[in-house]
């Protein structure tokens, strides 16, 4: 399973906002330069993330973006859904979709279980989780991923 560039860049964008002191606004241009992402692409992500209510935007001179909530209060599951779309590993287990072979499918339970694992994993992760992992990376602290 691969996530799109949009989701990868979106997480980098949010992480860049999360490392700023609370309330400090950052221009998209600054983030674009630091993350090597085009401003146009960042604008698309801002538009996509807007409904989540996690961004604060100020227009005009001295304007920019900041997080509207602390990183610990921003769960990753809705961020992924907003940027990626449906997270179901296969179309037949996506919300509300029915498959003609549903009763006969020998792999349906497997896909449903995988879908639950993905969602539980993301529900248990916040932007603070990413911020903490990045801080450990920067300080050279080793972590055990537990696969």
Query: Residue 15 is part of which domain span?
Result: 5-139
The answer as to whether 74 is a domain residue is: yes
CATH number at residue 97: 1.10.10.10
Using a 10 angstrom Cβ sphere, with 0-12 exposed, 13-18 middle and 19 or more buried, the burial of residue 48 is: middle
Residue 146: per-residue pLDDT:
52
The answer as to whether 146 is a domain residue is: no
Task: Tell me how far apart the alpha carbons of residues 68 and 74 are, in angstroms, rounded to a whole number.
Answer: 9
Per-residue pLDDT of the chain (147 residues; tens, 9 = 90+): 788 999 999 999 999 999 998 889 999 999 999 999 999 999 999 999 999 999 999 988 888 999 999 999 999 999 999 999 888 888 888 866 667 777 788 888 899 999 999 999 999 999 999 999 988 888 887 665 554
The answer as to whether 49 is a domain residue is: yes
The answer as to whether 52 is a domain residue is: yes
Query: How many domains does the chain contain in total?
Result: 1
Query: Do residues 5 and 37 lie in contact, with contact meaning Cβ atoms separated by under 8 Å?
Result: no
Residue 147: per-residue pLDDT:
46
The answer as to whether 56 is a domain residue is: yes
The answer as to whether 67 is a domain residue is: yes
Task: Tell me how far apart the alpha carbons of residues 128 and 19 are, in angstroms, rounded to a whole number.
Answer: 10
Say how many C-beta atoms besides its own lie within 10 A of residue 9's C-beta.
19
The answer as to whether 128 is a domain residue is: yes
pTM of the model: 0.85
Using the Cα atoms of residue 22, residue 25, residue 28 and residue 34 in order, give the sign of their dihedral. Answer: negative
Residue 134: per-residue pLDDT:
86
Residue 139: per-residue pLDDT:
84
The answer as to whether 145 is a domain residue is: no
């Amino acid at each position: 399973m691969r996530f799109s560039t949009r989701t990868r860049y979106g997480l980098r964008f949010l992480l860049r906002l999360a490392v700023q002191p609370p309330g400090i606004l950052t221009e998209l241009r600054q983030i674009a330069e630091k993350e090597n992402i085009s401003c146009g692409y960042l604008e698309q992500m801002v538009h996509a993330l807007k409904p989540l209510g996690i961004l604060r935007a100020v227009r005009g001179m001295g304007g920019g973006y900041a997080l509207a909530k602390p990183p610990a209060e921003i769960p990753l599951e809705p961020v992924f859904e907003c940027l990626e779309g449906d997270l179901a590993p296969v179309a037949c287990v996506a919300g509300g979709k029915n498959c003609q072979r549903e009763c006969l499918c020998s792999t349906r339970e497997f896909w449903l279980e995988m879908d639950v694992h993905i969602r539980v994993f993301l529900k248990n992760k916040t932007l603070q989780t990413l911020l903490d992992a990045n801080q450990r990376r920067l300080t050279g602290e080793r972590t055990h991923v537990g696969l």
